[in-house]
Amino acid sequence: MHLIQSITLLTLSAVTLAFPQGAPRCKITESIIAAGHKIPQGSLGLVMQLPQTYTPGGAAIPVTINSANGQTVKFQGVLAYVTPGNTQDSQLTALPANGGANAGGVPQHVGTFKNLGAQQLRAQTAAICTNQNVTNDNAASTITHSQPLTAQTPFTIMWTPPKTNKGVVTVNMVISSGASKTPWQIVPSGQIQSSAGAAAGAGGAATGAGGKNTGGKNTGGAAAGNIINAVKAAAAKAVKRAKA
């Protein structure tokens, strides 16, 4: 009986680690994902391909994940969402709570993803997002897998822009090749400019460095540069403490 209970517990543990029915988070936080997968982030060679602009209240646009070298990459898990602004959300979730505006991640996920069921995807559980202080514009503003995916590159999902202008937005996505101890990657984010220009109250910050159209490039402007430097500085301090 004890042996059966032990085997059952081990089986449940393996299933929990694999998260076969969706990611347990609403934000992409590298340290937490690494702990769940029990290995640090690696590169699956994935890149993001985006249109340059979206139209508020307009037609859905494609978000495509491809491999940088053209070889097919298969994967089983995904967490994806779109945030206002031009900074990759995983840079913000790496900051301490007192790290400035949007430290811990942008609290609003915008737009909505379409045709989820046909691609083995689903809207993220509302309570998970609420517990992480995330407000979704729609139920499917944040999405994950509904079962282990049989997906491969090129992989395209359709995103419908919000009705109100959000200015430049950033597409955020993390992809896992499998369960625990299998490679995973936070895909380098891209930005999409609004055809209506900067969002109301955003000033010039919404368009990236020098007010230029970033057109899917992860430029992030001066603000993003400051955030990246802060993250690097924190990492350097951690390394020094480890060597001490």
The ranges assigned to domains in the chain are 20-237
CATH 3.40.630.30 fits 20-237, yes or no: no
pLDDT number for residue 244: 44
* Greatest pairwise CA separation for the chain in angstroms: 68
> Is the separation of the CB atoms in 110 and 162 below 8 Å?
yes
pLDDT number for residue 230: 43
Residue 26, classed as helix, strand or coil, is coil
> Is the separation of the CB atoms in 216 and 192 below 8 Å?
yes
Compute the distance between CA of residue 28 and CA of residue 2 in angstroms, rounded to an integer. Answer: 39
pLDDT number for residue 41: 93
- Tokens representing residue 8 in the block: 């059952």
One digit per residue, pLDDT tens: the chain, 244 residues?
Answer: 444 443 333 333 333 334 778 899 999 999 999 998 889 999 999 999 999 999 999 999 999 999 999 999 999 999 999 999 999 999 999 999 888 889 999 999 999 999 999 999 999 999 999 999 999 999 999 999 999 999 999 999 999 999 999 999 999 999 998 877 889 999 999 999 999 999 887 643 333 333 333 344 443 333 334 433 443 444 444 434 434 4
pTM of the model: 0.76
Phi and psi (nearest 5°) for 181?
Answer: 65, 25
Q: Bridge partners of 113?
A: 159
Nearest alpha carbon to residue 37 among 87, 68, 74, 79: 79
Compute the distance between CA of residue 113 and CA of residue 232 in angstroms, rounded to an integer. Answer: 33
Compute the distance between CA of residue 144 and CA of residue 157 in angstroms, rounded to an integer. Answer: 12
The letter for the amino acid at 101 is: A
